[in-house]
Structure 1
Amino acid sequence: MKKSLLSLTLGGLTIGITEFVMMGLLPDIANDLDVSIPVAGYLISAYAFGVVIGAPLLVILTRNLPPKKTLLILTALLALFNSLCIIAPNYNFLFLARFLSGLPHGAFFGVGAVVASRLAEKGKEAQAISVMFLGLTIANVVGVPIGTYIGHHFTWRYTFIIVGVIGTITLLCIQFWMPKIEAAEAGNIKSQLQFFKKPESWLVILITAVGSGGFFCWISYIAPLLTKVSGFKEADVPYILILAGLGMVVGNIIGGKLADKFSPEKTTIYILLAIALDLTLVFFLSSHTIISLLLVFTTGSLAIALIAPVQMMMIRTAVGAEMIASATIQAAFNIGNALGAFLGGLPLVAGYSYASPNLVGVVMSLLGVSLTILFIKRKKHAAKVVTT
Structure 2
Amino acid sequence: MVSTTSVSPGTRPGIVLFALAMGGFAIGTTEFASMSLLPFMAEGLEIDEATASRLISAYALGVVVGAPLIAVAAARIERRVLLIGLMVMFCLTHILSALAPTYPVMLLARFLSGMPHGAYFGVAALMAASLAGPNQRGKAVARLMLGLTIATIVGVPVANVLGQTIGWRWAFALVGVLAALTATMILIFAPSTARDTNSNALRELGALKNRQVLLTLLSGAIGFGGFFAFYTYLASTLIEVTQVNEASIPLYLGLMGFGMTLGTLLAGWAADRALNFAVFATLFVNIALLSLFPQIAERPFAMVALVLAMGMANGYPILLQTRLMDVARDAQAMAATLHHAAFNAANALGPYVASIYIAKGYGFPSAGYVGAALTFGGVVIYAITVLDHRRSWQDSH
Residue of structure 1 aligned with 2:329, choices 310, 316, 319: 319
Distance 1:162 1:219 in 2: 22
Q: Who is 1:119 aligned against?
A: 131
Q: Who is 2:4 aligned against?
A: none
Q: How does 1:259-278 map to 2 (within 5 A)?
A: 259-262=271-274, 264-278=275-289
TM-score (norm 1): 0.97
Distance 1:251 1:68 in 2: 28
Q: CA deviation at 1:186?
A: 4.3
- Which amino acid counterpart does residue 295 of structure 1 have in structure 2? L
Task: Tell whether the 8 Å contact from 1:212 to 1:365 is kept in structure 2 after alignment.
Answer: yes
Q: CA deviation at 1:160?
A: 1.2
Q: Who is 2:256 aligned against?
A: 244
Q: Percent identity?
A: 33
Q: CA deviation at 1:35?
A: 0.8
Deviations 1:2-52 (A, max 9, x none): 111111110100100111111111111101111111111111100000000
Distance 2:207 2:158 in 1: 41
Q: Who is 2:6 aligned against?
A: none
Q: How does 1:5-16 map to 2 (within 5 A)?
A: 5-16=17-28
Q: Who is 1:295 aligned against?
A: 306
Residue of structure 2 aligned with 1:328, choices 321, 329, 338: 338
Residue of structure 2 aligned with 1:341, choices 335, 348, 351: 351
Residue of structure 1 aligned with 2:364, choices 346, 349, 354: 354
Task: Tell whether the 8 Å contact from 1:137 to 1:248 is kept in structure 2 after alignment.
Answer: yes
Deviations 1:59-113 (A, max 9, x none): 2111111110010111111111111011111111111000000000000001011
Q: CA deviation at 1:183?
A: 2.4
Distance 2:244 2:197 in 1: 54
1:19 is paired with a residue whose SS is helix
1:89 is paired with a residue whose SS is coil
Aligned residues: 385
1:2 is paired with a residue whose SS is helix
Distance 2:191 2:91 in 1: 22
Distance 2:99 2:329 in 1: 43
Q: CA RMSD in A?
A: 1.0
Q: How does 1:200-219 map to 2 (within 5 A)?
A: 200-219=212-231
Distance 1:96 1:48 in 2: 12
Distance 1:368 1:2 in 2: 34
Residue of structure 1 aligned with 2:122, choices 102, 110, 118: 110
1:350 is paired with a residue whose SS is helix
Task: Tell whether the 8 Å contact from 2:204 to 2:333 is kept in structure 1 after alignment.
Answer: no
Runs of 5+ unmatched residues, structure 2: 1-12
Distance 1:324 1:348 in 2: 36
Q: Who is 2:297 aligned against?
A: 286
Q: How does 1:136-155 map to 2 (within 5 A)?
A: 136-155=148-167
- Which amino acid counterpart does residue 70 of structure 1 have in structure 2? L
Task: Tell whether the 8 Å contact from 2:24 to 2:147 is kept in structure 1 after alignment.
Answer: yes
Distance 1:6 1:62 in 2: 24
Q: Where does structure 1 differ by over 4 angstroms across 4 or more consecutive aligned residues?
A: none
Q: Who is 1:26 aligned against?
A: 38
